[in-house]
Structure 1
Amino acid sequence: MPEKIFRNWRIIVLTSLAVIFFILYSWYPFQVAGSTNFKFASPDETANYFWARQYAAGQELSYFEPLNIIANDAVAPRSARSDSGAVKPVSFLGIILIYGALAKIFGSGIIIYLTALLAAIGALFFYGIIKRVFNENIAWLSALMLFVLAPYWYYASRSMFHNVLFIDLLLGGIYLLITNGVTPADLTKRAYRQWLLVFSSGIFFGLAIITRASELIWLGPAALISWLFYFKQTDWRKLILFLVGIFLALMPLFYYNQILYGGALNFGYNAKANNYLTPPSVAEKSEEKIISVNKIKNFVLPFGLNFKNAAKHFLYYYPLMFWYLFWPALLGAMMFLYRYQTRDKKQRLYFINFVAVSVIVIFFYGSWKIQDNPNPAGITIGNSYARYWLAMYVMSLPLAAMFFTALGNLFKPARLRTAIIAILIGASAAFNIQTAVFNPEEGLMAMAKSIIQDERRVNEIKAMIEPRAVIISERFDKFFWPEYKVIAGNLSSRAPLTAYANLVEQGAPLYYYGFIFPPQDLDYLNSRKLAAAGLQVEPVKLDEESRLGLYQVKSKK
């Protein structure tokens, strides 16, 4: 027994760390949910949580908003769309269906902790994968680094985003698939276990796809490359079973896409309603009768192809933001290439897929200018590039581990070698934790404090407005909805003015909550912009400390 424990000490330590990091990842959702009645920093998170609870309660993934009949479908939060009054999710449905299904069994209280749990388990899958591709030591170091990887930790804690869920489902699918490759004597004497592993792998891959179907842009090429590498060893029966597993996992998505969006392959993201959620070029072209080539281009490159933007964003969100991973990974990649001919087949496949995936995600996501941070100059982990490029960061870890190992091997005494590697891993962990947790602008501690403060301000506003009020807000709709009806917008745009006027005419209490208008801007709104629609705006409460104000939109007297 002691010998068996000694042989498996890495597994025992990693399992213990998985429990510890599940608790650490859960700190942020526990802190925020307990203090804000389940409010989130992003409208995507807010919507995903709302719809997951709806699904867990056995309710439909849509609701009817009667005011949208007169408001031209404007009454909806940012991460939802309204079609003739029917408000629906605009995100990929995977996280809603998976977490909602689990919440039906275990209760909705687990929803906000599921990503943290799966992230902890995902690190164990990652260890199993890298152990089979490289070796046990590289796998051990890679798994340790994944636990503390800043974007992984950050978005495991921001638990209603679907990026970490996608990565963990994919890791689970890959692990089950390559475990099937172990000889039957090593696995089990019963052949059906291998078939079960293949089928389960397909289920995991399918669940990953319904969680973020857009990742097929790189997952598809990576799968094709892998298949071509092992084409001669393909067991076609297992391949068919694998594809059956994928298809079965996709069926709930096809079903709800058909119900919600009118087609199995239609998604909320390509909606005509709420076009502010789609890049302008996509929104405009989706309504035109254009040739198939352009349609394919819009599907493959919805953000266009901009080499300058891609290079700039890559520089900001990898070498500069995560320099403590980039440089070790780059040096590890150079070491790998230096001895490329001596690498075995599976290691070459890993490296080729790493390069292919990195190039695709850099240009696919990097070409578009994404600014989630209210500060236009802010280069922070909260901007979407850090989660869109998560696969690239994770795949970099074994290369960084190779470099750390090589550096440690320069020292001959075994204890000194171990100490050097431990120092390198520890330093890397410290930088990652600083970025994910303690960064003063968008670290988890700063985010938790900001959300709690914003929720307290919004609660003061809620005490001043009618229960049936409609609130117009560009960034704070996530705090009012679903308790209140919201319009994701402002008072400066001409497009929704008719909707505002119709709501006021029908007697709906209409408010705007956002940054305080300077006196000249308020005069302009009342004398020209709103006056053209027969409206005026009056201040109700102005908070000079936060520079936020509540205004009521009324009929112009």
Structure 2
Amino acid sequence: MMKENLGRMEIMITLNTERRSFGLLLLGLALMMFVIPSLGGQVYASPDETATAFVAQNIAWHGRAFFRESQAFDFPWFHPRSFVSHGEKIVPVGFLGWPFLLSLVARIFNPDALPWFGSLLILSSVWPLYQLLKRHYGWEAAWWGTAITFTVPSMLLYANRSLFPNGALLALMLWSVWLIRHAQEKRYSERKQFWFQVLIGAVCALCAAIRPTELVWLMPWWIWFGWSWRPQKKDWQGLVLGVLIIFLPLLLLAHHAYGSAIQIGYFLHDNVRAVLHVPAAASMNVTSADASNILPFGFHPRMLIKNIILFFGGWLWPWMILLIISMISAWKKHRVFCLLMIWTFAVLLFIYGSGRYLDRPGAWQASLGNSFLRYLLPVAPFFGWAFAFLHVRFFSRTMIAQRWGAIIGVFLILFGMYGAFFRDDEGVMATRRELIRYASIRQASQQWFSARDVIISDRSDKIFFPDKRVASPLSSTTEVARLAHTPGVRVGLFSRPLTQSEQDAWRAVGLEAQELMSSGRERLYRLAPLSP
């Protein structure tokens, strides 16, 4: 009897320790993931985030993923980045799945809640990853693995900049595989089981809708996790219903925006301005989805090798060393799992590895904000698995091994936090400061420009859109002058300080660049037509 009581006490102590440890982990990650969303406001750090928020609000309040622009044919370039002119509409080039999900949040709450929801969704995926690791390696290894996964620098950055779809995709992927695994282990009443299948179908459909290209690596994981499930006919009914709940409204949105339910914004180009009047459909430029266009950057082996050296060597080297050691150790017992990880790496590198990433103007640097690291977010859980595996295999055997395991784990967590927050000028803290500056510029511009006025820039449309009409990237001086001389249109220019030769170039097309304000290394000008 005494032994039974002691055993129960040990279980309760272990359970309480686990709960407290998990709670502290969740709290710590929450404090790090909401640094940027806590700013509030609707100014974002990139055109993609700005476009996502705008499209989500447009779907929420108007039921459409585009906006109309009367000048779309005369000035096909007259639109923000991450959009293209398509007939009389300005449509997003990205997939509609993430804005569609966010539109529900905008409708229920308000647009300010969008970054909070994105970060909260990513934070929620701590639970499924923790449970998946705990199932195989115990709660201590799961704690370390989860902490290491979510403190990878790019993970923390994009948990803060959560309107990018990549973090949401990873979160929903983790939830989907946990739900598939859970469906095999726990049976509910027939009614509850049906709605559980609907939930699985909806979550998997959201993954596909947010970034369909990721299905190439994602589908094998779903098949592997659900291999022993063998859904019955009634299970398939729920799964199909869940998929239809997501895809039917998305197909309608795509048809309304692009003219086809299966059209993708990435395959569209701006209208072709016609000299003579032509029907709207004839002057829209659509690229077919042939093989040469499917890979966004083509395939260039030399560039691929350079990206691997720059980004894996520059940012992910400690985690990659850990992962390689773990895969070598686990190869015999977990060969299929290791092959799936290799497949995921191979697909991501094949699709995205050949790009020359120029997120930073004027230099090709392996900075945290480069798109390539964002595309590699799906591999972050592999680093957590690697540590959890080594924790059980080596670090828990002796007291010395435990100390070394703790040292390595703490190093990875702190190194990841440092990289995310302070290492370069695209980290979380630097981005937060920039957003404060952007908000002040937007506010100051109100005294010179109204909502119907136009501000053109090469990369800074995110500061002014959607409060004002914007055009980015910068078109030719001749085209801008043609727009500026349109009756009723006032045009501003946001750029680096203009040189004398640049000012002369504007004068040559009949425009005077009048400086209105400065902020850091940038200036806001009004391009005023010269008096006759």
> TM bucket by the smaller chain?
0.7 to 0.9
State the identity %: 21
> In 2, Cα distance between the equivalents of 1:269 and 1:510?
29
Task: Name the counterpart of 2:501.
Answer: 520
Structure 1 102/549 Cα, relative in aligned 2: closer, same or farther at 3 Å?
Answer: closer
Task: Name the counterpart of 1:478.
Answer: 462
Q: 2:511 aligns with which of 512, 531, 536?
A: 536
Q: 2:291 aligns with which of 296, 300, 315?
A: 296
Q: 1:166 aligns with which of 148, 169, 174?
A: 169
Task: Name the counterpart of 2:527.
Answer: 552
> In 2, Cα distance between the equivalents of 1:467 and 1:547?
21
> In 2, Cα distance between the equivalents of 1:192 and 1:458?
52
Task: Name the counterpart of 2:71.
Answer: 67
Give the paired residue count.
512
Is contact 2:202–2:246 with CA below 8 Å preserved after alignment? yes
Report the 3-state secondary structure (helix = DSSP H, G, I; strand = E; otherwise coil) of the residue aligned with 2:202: helix
Structure 1 140/502 Cα, relative in aligned 2: closer, same or farther at 3 Å?
Answer: closer
Structure 1 537/25 Cα, relative in aligned 2: closer, same or farther at 3 Å?
Answer: same
Q: Which moved more, 1:121-130 or 1:503-512?
A: 503-512
Q: Which moved more, 1:263-272 or 1:81-90?
A: 81-90
Task: Name the counterpart of 1:98.
Answer: 101
> In 1, Cα distance between the equivalents of 2:406 and 2:193?
37
Superposed displacement of residue 198, structure 1: 3.4
Query: Residue by residue, what CA displacement relative to the aligned partner does 1:83-135 show, whole Å, maximum 9, x if unpaired?
Result: 23322333222221112213323444422201221112101111122334555
> In 2, Cα distance between the equivalents of 1:306 and 1:168?
30
- Residue type matched to 1:306 in 2? H
Superposed displacement of residue 214, structure 1: 2.3
Task: Name the counterpart of 1:273.
Answer: 270
Is contact 1:222–1:356 with CA below 8 Å preserved after alignment? no
- Residue type matched to 2:453 in 1? A
What 5-or-longer segments of structure 2 have no aligned partner? 1-7, 273-283
> In 2, Cα distance between the equivalents of 1:288 and 1:467?
30
- Residue type matched to 1:17 in 2? L
Query: Residue by residue, what CA displacement relative to the aligned partner does 1:160-208 show, whole Å, maximum 9, x if unpaired?
Result: 11111111111111101011121xxxx3463554444333222111011
The within-5 A match list for 1:302-317 is: 302-317=296-311
- Residue type matched to 1:252 in 2? P
> In 1, Cα distance between the equivalents of 2:460 and 2:322?
40
**TM-score relative to the length of structure 1:** 0.83
The within-5 A match list for 1:107-506 is: 107-132=110-135, 136-182=139-185, 187-188=186-187, 190=189, 193-223=192-222, 230=227, 234-235=230-231, 237=233, 238=235, 241-273=238-270, 295-299=290-294, 301-337=295-331, 340=332, 343=333, 347-409=334-396, 412-413=398-399, 416-490=400-474, 493=476, 497-498=478-479, 500-506=481-487
Task: Name the counterpart of 2:25.
Answer: 17
Is contact 2:61–2:107 with CA below 8 Å preserved after alignment? yes
Superposed displacement of residue 429, structure 1: 0.7
> In 2, Cα distance between the equivalents of 1:309 and 1:440?
23
- Residue type matched to 1:512 in 2? L
What 5-or-longer segments of structure 1 have no aligned partner? 276-285
> In 1, Cα distance between the equivalents of 2:499 and 2:437?
23
> In 1, Cα distance between the equivalents of 2:179 and 2:94?
28
- Residue type matched to 1:515 in 2? R
- Residue type matched to 2:230 in 1? T
Report the 3-state secondary structure (helix = DSSP H, G, I; strand = E; otherwise coil) of the residue aligned with 1:471: strand
Report the 3-state secondary structure (helix = DSSP H, G, I; strand = E; otherwise coil) of the residue aligned with 1:513: strand
TM-align CA RMSD = 2.9
- Residue type matched to 2:389 in 1? M
Report the 3-state secondary structure (helix = DSSP H, G, I; strand = E; otherwise coil) of the residue aligned with 2:443: helix
Superposed displacement of residue 20, structure 1: 3.9
> In 1, Cα distance between the equivalents of 2:371 and 2:231?
39
Query: Residue by residue, what CA displacement relative to the aligned partner does 1:258-311 show, whole Å, maximum 9, x if unpaired?
Result: 111111211222222289xxxxxxxxxx96898xxx813422x23211111112
Q: Which moved more, 1:110-119 or 1:246-255?
A: 246-255
